[in-house]
A and B are shown apart, each in its own frame.
Chain A
Amino acid sequence: DIVMSQSPDSLAVSLGERATINCKSSQSVLYSSNNKNYLAWYQQKPGQPPKLLVYWASTRESGVPDRFSGSGSGTDFTLTISSLQAADVAIYYCQQYFTTLRTFGQGTKVEIK
């Protein structure tokens, strides 16, 4: 199984400041034949289901604000919120889809400082 580890577990950022969430996979999720990273990011607000933000590590889902961006390759990935808004308070999860057994990180809680 590919184990996904996120850091930090939680962070508090001032409104308008940058938030950075890291995700590390226990093995590479880069498929060499197409040079794509099989990595997605989700946002989950309290009492709501998760929402897809990013797939292929850096492709933003339609309708997702451009302050959200994904980067990284191989085993190390980052989700960046360039200017934190109150609406961004949530738990964020990474997920690998390199293998049939899809696995998630443990989540990172983002709060306002």
Chain B
Amino acid sequence: EVQLLESGGGLVQPGGSLRLSCAASGFTFSTYAMSWVRQAPGKGLQWVSVISATDNTYYADSVRGRFTISRDNSKNTLFLQMNSLRAEDTAVYYCATDISVGSGGYFDSWGQGTLVTVSS
């Protein structure tokens, strides 16, 4: 059974940094692309970033240059380094397996999410 467990969320001041982790199990992590998707309180879903099985990375315009996605296949863990955080980054952040096809991908397994709150 696929399991994804996010951690690292919390309260951070504007301009601050946070590193999210997603521990994966139940599948061959190294062969999957992985994405981060976020959801602001009471709002819809927004894709944030994807990292392919070969470490190619892509970002939404709103986070490019501030966020960095990475993975450690030896530890079956996905990361999201978030710098220069803004109030509008406040959201639940989900990691998801990304079934990449062509340029895009859909998400077939999701973690429970971790809440990031950016506020002074």
Residues of A within 8 A of B (CB): 31, 38, 40, 42, 44, 48-52, 55, 61, 93, 95-107
| Closest residue of B by beta carbon distance from A39 | B106
B106 touches A100 (CB 8 A): no
Which residue of the partner chain, among A49, A52, A100, A107, contacts B104 with CB atoms under 8 Å? Answer: A100
A104 touches B47 (CB 8 A): yes
B103 touches A100 (CB 8 A): yes
Residues of B within 8 A of A (CB): 35, 37, 44-47, 50, 58, 60-61, 94, 99, 101-113
Once A52-B106, A97-B106 are accepted as A-B contacts, the answer to whether A102 and B47 lie under 8 Å apart by CB is yes
| Closest residue of B by beta carbon distance from A1 | B61
Which residue of the partner chain, among B60, B61, B106, B111, contacts A40 with CB atoms under 8 Å? Answer: B106
Number of A-B residue pairs with CB-CB distance less than 8 Å in the complex they form: 68
Interface residues of B, dominant DSSP: strand
A106 touches B102 (CB 8 A): no
Which residue of the partner chain, among B46, B47, B106, B110, contacts A49 with CB atoms under 8 Å? Answer: B110
Which residue of the partner chain, among A49, A93, A98, contacts B112 with CB atoms under 8 Å? Answer: A49
How distant is the Cα of A104 from the Cα of B48 in the complex, in angstroms? 12
CB pairs A–B below 8 angstroms (27 shown): A38-B101, A40-B106, A40-B107, A42-B45, A49-B94, A49-B110, A50-B45, A50-B107, A50-B110, A52-B106, A52-B108, A52-B109, A95-B45, A95-B107, A96-B104, A99-B103, A100-B50, A100-B58, A100-B104, A101-B58, A102-B47, A102-B104, A104-B44, A104-B46, A106-B44, A107-B44, A107-B45
